[in-house]
Chain A
Amino acid sequence: MRGSPLANLRVIGALGKRSVRQTFRRPQLMAPIIVFPTLLLAIQTGGAGRAVGLEGFPEVDGFLDFMLAGAMIQSTLLAGNSGGIALAVDIEMGFTDRLLAAPISRFAMVLGRLAGTAALGVVSALWFIALGLIFGASISEGVAGAVGIVILVSLTAVAFGGIGAAIALRTGSASVVQGLFPLVFVVLFLSSAFFPANLILEPAGTVAEYNPLSFITEGVRELVISTLTAEAFWKAAASIAGIAALSLGLSNLALRRRLRTGG
């Protein structure tokens, strides 16, 4: 590794701050993380709120309580995608070339971006918790539950941010990463993010039952609507760890390929 660990940590911190500032300054990056998930949350809560009366729907105080976890997970997926777009723009504009010439670890470039994505995950979690509390939802696990939600959502953002980073590093094209935006919704619709898996029509329902995103969503959701069980916690943690390991491994491979081939 080039540079001392402390120097690399400083670089990761600086790049993370830059990433967050960049997102707040560009509406194209911010809108998918906060605006669209908030609008969708409002529409789905208002439009499908009567679904709590369906047989087989879990016990909840209201549909908003059920939907909060889905909105947060949607936001983290889109934050990962936005982070990938921003990284690809950095590659297109030559900013990463200048970083590669600096005496720091090359992977710090990726970790810096992911640190920013993690921070955006925290922002997203806090935003939706606040929104939920304002509009009548409650966090059944209280303050400890809210902290747990923030941690799970932030780690999920890192895990999915790694996928965006890997694709950005592999292709070097912002438009390619942006083109993945609709696919985020494919993954979301094939999970229990918006509806209980047992009530989703087949074959999507079966896919949703085994989708790791469902496990993550259920982990966050249990903190909102009931008590987090050990099973739900381990399923969520294992899913996040698995996706993070895969995405960071792919990012590392893509970075090495870029360094080897120069593009």
Chain B
Amino acid sequence: MESASVPVERRFDLASSLGMVWALIRRAANELLRVPGAAIPGVLAPTIFFLGLTAVFGRLTDLGGFNTDTYQSFILPVSLMQGAGFTGAATGVNMARDIEQGWFDRLVAAPAPRAVLLAGFVLSASLRALIPAAVLLIVGFALGVQWPGFGGFALAIFLVMAMGAAAACWGTMLALRFRTQSAAPLMQAGMFILVLFTTAYAPLDRLQPWLADIARVNPVTHVIDAARQGFLTGNVTWAETWPGLVAITALVALFGALALRGLRRISY
């Protein structure tokens, strides 16, 4: 009885924090190993969109201004971000399930700093985002997507992982706010809007003016443009890279701060 009123001491200890992060990453990996079907929608959806959009809108490059003749090279970075966004948002859906089933209550009762718990969720999402990315890259290169060079490839992978982290923070924030899996469409729709209301389908000057205005203020436009440059030209320039790095850092910081605030509001 008395223990309920005794505050849990949440001191930061590097070794135990790393242990906690590793345990959460392993738990996420176990979910994939034990329920392989759980990863299929996250992989299938962006792959189907990549193949479908390439086939359906492939002739858009005839309009000019795409900086490439192959629409698949233009659209692949969008699908990479979409895969990362959906995989990250799935972290929120899984957390909402854990909240509904009571497992989350036991987790937050552990004497670990909230930031460490969040780091575990976010890092596991970053790693999971590599699964759809790997499938998309294999399919893309098989369909003639231009090799972006090692710099472009590394940059794209980094941005995929960072996008997965941002999406995981977004999903975590919503899961803690609504505490139900019914919020799943909101988590997915948020990522859908962020990734696709950009230069996803066409360059800025080929978009309808209203969408171009939204794309200009949407930070993910810079992330996609940074990831895309290597796939279009085979080269990476600092001028096209830094806005993407700033944008993704700001997104992770913003959603991360909001998710951490939600975690800290839970009283145990």
Q: Which residues of A contact B (CB under 8 A)?
A: 26-28, 30-32, 35-36, 39-40, 42-51, 53-54, 175, 178-179, 181-182, 185-186, 188-190, 194-195, 199-201, 204-205
Contact = CB atoms under 8 A, between A and B. Distances in A.
Given A42-B211, A46-B197, 16 more contacts: A31-B189, A36-B192, A46-B214, A47-B207, A48-B201, A51-B57, A54-B63, A175-B37, A179-B37, A182-B41, A182-B44, A182-B48, A189-B56, A195-B57, A200-B55, A201-B58
Given A47-B201, A185-B48, A28 B41 contact: no
Nearest to A32: B185
Contacts of B60: 48, 50-51, 54
B67 interface: no
A175 to B, nearest CB: 8
Contacts of A49: 207-208
Interface residues of B, number: 40
A28 B188 CA distance: 11
A185 B63 contact: no
Contact of A43 (B56, B197, B206): B197
A91 to B, nearest CB: 19
A46 B52 contact: no
Interface in B35-77: 37, 40-41, 44-45, 48-49, 51-60, 62-63
Interface string B15-41: 000000000000000000000010011
9 contacts: A46-B197, A47-B208, A50-B63, A50-B202, A182-B45, A182-B48, A190-B52, A200-B55, A200-B56
Looking at B49, B56, B184, the one whose CB has the most chain A CB atoms below 10 A away is B56
Nearest to A45: B208
A38 B67 CA distance: 29
A201 B48 contact: no
Contacts of A186: 48, 52
B207 to A, nearest CB: 6
A27 B182 contact: yes
Contacts of B54: 201
A179 B183 contact: no
A188 B51 CA distance: 12
A201 B184 contact: no
A28 B182 contact: yes
Interface in B160-214: 181-186, 188-189, 192-193, 196-197, 200-202, 206-208, 210-211, 214
A82 to B, nearest CB: 11
B172 to A, nearest CB: 18
A43 B63 CA distance: 18
A201 B59 contact: yes
Of all A-B residue pairs in the complex, the 5 with the closest CB atoms, nearest first, are: A47-B201, A189-B52, A46-B211, A31-B185, A204-B55
Given A27-B185, A199-B59, A201-B58, A43 B200 contact: yes
A40 B54 CA distance: 16
Contacts of A35: 185, 189
A201 B63 contact: no
B189 A39 contact: yes
B59 A51 contact: yes
B184 A28 contact: yes
Nearest to B58: A201
B211 A47 contact: yes
Nearest to B200: A47
